[in-house]
């Protein structure tokens, strides 16, 4: 059975989906249809856990998510990319080429970028932490402004403010 709820983030409403056992999808504010903006199913414990973890993430007290996830779609390669995304620590960014190397496909930068763009569970699977080779913000389903806001939020709330952090405009 599918469940969904609306989560009020500091950057707008998110719509969370659950199959009753795992979190399956998150829609970002720019993806959320107006007609869905107010519906909430607060009975599902997975959605409640997701909201609790997102609240602590946005409060700056959570560095890792523990909720069980199960994206509804995705090839084996896309899922491999998403698993690697989940290993990027809060307050840190990597480039698409670094991500390609981490998944063992150094020449597949475009395929990695495409897989990153198909991530169904943004924020929790932190695709916003991947940036262009020149440090620029590129390709985020929620828009580049939201990507910038998420990265700034993480930079403010992490004790690792300089080590390992690529900033937009800086060379690697």
Cα 10 to Cα 27: distance, rounded to the nearest angstrom: 15
- Say how far apart CA 73 and CA 118 lie, in whole Å: 9
Helices (H), 2-44: none
Q: Angle, nearest 10°, between helix axes 76-85 and 109-117?
A: 80
Torsion of Cα atoms, 87 then 93 then 97 then 101, to 10°: -30
Strands of 3-9's sheet, edge to edge? 3-9, 12-18, 23-27
- 127 assigned to active site: yes
∠ CA 13-18-21, nearest 5°, is 145
d(CA 10, CA 5): 16
Q: Looking at 27, 127, 137, 151, which residue is catalytic? A: 127
Q: Which residues are catalytic?
A: 127
């Amino acid at each position: 059975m599918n469940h969904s709820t609306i989560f009020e983030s500091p950057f707008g409403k998110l719509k969370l989906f659950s199959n009753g056992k795992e979190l399956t999808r998150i829609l970002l504010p720019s993806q959320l249809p107006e007609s869905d903006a107010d519906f909430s199913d607060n009975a599902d414990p997975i959605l409640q856990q997701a909201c609790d973890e997102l609240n602590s993430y946005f409060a700056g007290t959570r560095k890792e998510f523990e909720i069980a996830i199960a994206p509804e779609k995705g090839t084996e390669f896309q899922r491999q990319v998403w698993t690697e995304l989940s290993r990027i620590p809060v307050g840190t960014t990597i480039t698409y080429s670094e991500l390609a190397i981490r998944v063992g496909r150094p020449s597949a930068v475009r395929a990695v970028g495409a897989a990153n763009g198909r991530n169904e569970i943004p924020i929790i699977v932190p695709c916003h932490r991947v940036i262009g080779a020149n440090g620029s913000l590129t390709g985020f389903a929620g828009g580049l402004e939201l990507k910038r806001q998420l990265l700034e939020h993480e930079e403010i709330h992490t004790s690792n403010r300089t080590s390992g952090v690529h900033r937009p405009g800086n060379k690697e």
